[in-house]
Amino acid sequence: MKVLVLDNVSEQAVAVLRENGIQADISPTLPEEELMEKISSYEGVIVRSQTKITAQVINAGKNLKVIGRAGVGVDNVDVEAATNKGVIVLNAPDGNTISTAEHTVGMIMA
């Protein structure tokens, strides 16, 4: 499987993908036009908050099967367009739970 990793995703996350036989290509900060040209050869995309996965990007992804959001929300992904095309959208809803708890405790102690 070929996955396009956009935005700044940790090197450890990319290493896990590669260790499991996934070709992970890193291209942070692609303008939408370039992303639309590049996405057609990928089955998966991983984003954080910066990159917007619009209906146009999804439709340009001829082989796109999954969009992974490395974070809580999916407001930067057109979920309706993805669903209509049969593309799965995933996120990490508990991704920042520990950090939030640590921050809260720190604020209480301040």
Q: Please report the pLDDT score of residue 74 as a whole number.
A: 94
Query: Which residue intervals of the chain are DSSP H helices?
Result: 11-19, 32-38, 55-60, 79-85, 97-109
Q: Please report the pLDDT score of residue 94 as a whole number.
A: 65
Q: Please report the pLDDT score of residue 57 as a whole number.
A: 98
2-40 core/surface letters (b: 16 or more CB in 10 A; e: else): ebbbbbebeeeebeebeeeeeebeeeeebeeeebbebbe
Q: Please report the pLDDT score of residue 29 as a whole number.
A: 84
Topology classification of domain 2-109: Rossmann fold (3.40.50)
Q: What is the pLDDT along the chain (110 residues), one digit of tens a residue?
A: 999 999 988 899 999 999 999 999 999 889 999 999 999 999 999 999 899 999 999 999 999 999 999 888 899 999 999 999 999 999 986 665 566 677 778 878 87
Q: Locate 10 and state its tokens.
A: 């940790």
